[in-house]
Amino acid sequence: MEFGHIRRSEHLPARIAGQIARDITEGRMRPGEKLPTEHFLAKALGVSRSVVREAIAQLRNEGLVETRQGVGAFVTEAHARPIRIEQDDLADRQSFRDLFQLRVPLEIEAAGLAALHHTADDLRRIDEALASMSGGEKWTAEGIVADLVFHRAVAAATGNEYFSVFIGFIAERISLAIDAARAAAVLEEIVEVTIEEHVALRDAIASRDPKRARKAMKMHLLGAAKRLDLTLEGYEVASD
């Protein structure tokens, strides 16, 4: 018995958009070039103009084309396109580790900057996150969320929004992966030490000592990596 994928034609506009997107990213259409008119494309592809319009709308949304009413649709200059990162990639262990590896220097730097720049408000939010971690006795979904909130709060305290965005993204993905992959039972016994590490980090930030904050964050992340059975090179010997 063979079920074979029924080509659910997964959204007609998306397929058309994908095809045009490939034409653009692979260089068959150059920046500044004008796309055929909607009428032409509709006729050529054998679909209605609505479908073509939706496809073009998607391309516009992805930043690949710009449209001007009464004129046409044009391929955008490459540098105007936004970055976009899908998930689905961190399913395997390799990419999980890669993501963690990316996280380490960012978080360490953030801790240092947070020590320098945090406001009273920032510190209050960090303390709140810490409280909600200690409060709940369980290292369940809420614990994971609280951890995420804590790291976000630290990132926010840098006063640099890029750190918030990037760390928020990374930490969230990692927390999710942990949530999915690890048994809660294993993690419960190590929750205390984790909280200790967080408290140490919080105090270092509060004392406005960037060096100590960086060290505390580094210790925390290395501890986390160890608990997750990850090995990170270059951090046993690195001086800071």
Binding site for a second copy (CB under 8 A): 13, 50, 53-54, 57-58, 61-62, 79-80, 82-87, 89, 95, 98-99, 101-102, 104-106, 108-109, 112-113, 116, 160-163, 165-166, 169, 172-173, 176, 210-211, 214, 233-234, 237-240
The span of 30-38, 84-92, 108-116, 129-137 binding DNA (CB under 7 A) equals 30-38
Residues 2-21 that bind DNA (CB under 7 A): 8-9, 11-13
Nearer to DNA, 36 or 159 (CB): 36
Given candidates 5, 68, 79, 84, which one binds DNA under the rule CB under 7 A?
Answer: 68
Nearest one of 62, 77, 65, 63 to 36, comparing CA atoms: 65
What single string gives the DSSP state of each residue in 89-142? STTSHHHHHHHHHHHHHHHHHHHHHHHHH--HHHHHHHHHHHHHHHHSSS-SHH
71 binds, among a second copy, DNA, none (CB under 5 to 8 A by kind): DNA
Nearer to a second copy, 195 or 210 (CB): 210
CA atoms within 13 A on the CB side of 17: 20
Quick check: 213 and 111 in contact, CB under 8 A? Answer: yes
**Nearest approach, Cβ of 193 to a second copy (angstroms)?**
25
70 binds, among DNA, a second copy, none (CB under 5 to 8 A by kind): DNA
The span of 70-78, 108-116, 183-191, 220-228 binding DNA (CB under 7 A) equals 70-78
- Establish if 61 lies at the interface with DNA (CB under 7 A): no
- Residues with Cβ within 8 Å of 137's Cβ and at least 6 positions away in sequence, in order, are none
d(CA 17, CA 15): 5
Nearest one of 30, 54, 31 to 42, comparing CA atoms: 54
Given candidates 27, 32, 70, 234, which one binds DNA under the rule CB under 7 A?
Answer: 70
Tokens found for residue 32: 């500044």
φ and ψ of 67, to 5 deg: -115, 145
Write out the residues near DNA by the rule CB under 7 A: 8-9, 11-13, 35, 37-39, 46-51, 53-54, 56, 67-73
